[in-house]
């Protein structure tokens, strides 16, 4: 009997351009190793309370470097990126909607499609993904209307659900995005995806 392969967990925050870039690459990487990817939106901001860190754009010198690096990285990966006008943002609403879809469907296919649409809306179309109207538009393919979206983003159930995800992430040592976890090994950053790739290829190194 063949043991099923462990899934790759993909911690992301919709406000992270590096997580966006990683989201464009992870499926090809995972397919190469016949792995599933579990997408886990969370809040980097919540980890800052534990680590005392700040977003790169809030740090002198790092700010300028990062804005250039992100766009250079996108060109290298041949991915579209138009840096958002409002940045960073609090991604709770989009995250709660992601987990709502996942719960409703009992599988993550639509939730992932929604996550990709959120990333594209924010980092390509430069839309405000904190707006209920924008989120409702992105939810149309998944049979949710504006009224339902308005309810979900403020529902106690999804608040509690999402808070638990964030708490669990911090408990596991996740402090940034993108963060990949497979078989207890953590890989932080789109720039560690080649390490993840080699790790899966060789069964560690």
The alpha-helical segments, DSSP class H, found in 34-108 are: 44-51, 62-76, 92-105
Residue 179 C-beta: closest distance to a second copy, Å: 9
- Nearest CB to a second copy, comparing residues 77 and 147: 77
- Bridging pattern class, strands 37-41 and 179-182: unpaired
- Pick from 1, 76, 85, 160 the residue near a second copy by CB under 8 A: 76
Q: Does 205 bind a second copy (CB under 8 A)?
A: yes
Q: Does 168 bind a second copy (CB under 8 A)?
A: no
Q: Does 54 bind a second copy (CB under 8 A)?
A: yes
Compose the 34-53 pattern: x for residues touching a second copy by CB under 8 A, - for all others: -------------x--xxxx
- Nearest CB to a second copy, comparing residues 69 and 148: 69
Q: Does 195 bind a second copy (CB under 8 A)?
A: yes
Strand partners, 37: 8
Q: Does 16 bind a second copy (CB under 8 A)?
A: no
CA distances from 188 to 34, 111, 176 (A): 21, 23, 7
CA-based angle 191:16:89, to the nearest 5?
165
Helix, coil or strand: residue 83: coil
- Rounded CA-CA distance 165/25 in Å is 23
Residue 50 C-beta: closest distance to a second copy, Å: 6
Residue 153 C-beta: closest distance to a second copy, Å: 28
Structure tokens at 112: 């992932």
């Amino acid at each position: 009997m063949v043991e099923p392969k462990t899934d790759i967990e993909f911690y992301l925050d919709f406000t992270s351009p590096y997580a966006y870039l990683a989201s464009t690459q992870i499926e090809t990487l995972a397919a190469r190793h016949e792995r599933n990817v579990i997408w886990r939106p969370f809040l980097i901001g919540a980890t800052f309370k534990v680590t005392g860190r700040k977003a790169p754009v809030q740090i002198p010198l790092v700010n300028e470097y990062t804005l250039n690096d992100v766009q250079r990285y996108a060109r290298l990966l041949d991915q579209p990126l138009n840096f958002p006008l409002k940045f960073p943002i609090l991604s709770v609403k989009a995250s709660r909607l992601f987990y709502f879809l996942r719960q409703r469907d009992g599988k993550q296919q639509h939730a992932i499609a929604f996550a990709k649409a959120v990333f594209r809306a924010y980092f390509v179309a430069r839309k405000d993904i904190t707006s209920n109207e924008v989120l409702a538009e992105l939810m149309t393919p998944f049979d949710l209307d504006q009224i339902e979206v308005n309810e979900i983003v403020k529902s106690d159930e999804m608040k509690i659900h999402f808070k638990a995800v964030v708490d669990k992430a911090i408990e596991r040592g996740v402090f940034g995005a993108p963060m990949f976890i497979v078989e207890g090994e953590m890989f932080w950053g789109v720039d560690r995806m080649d390490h993840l790739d080699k790790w899966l290829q060789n069964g560690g190194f």
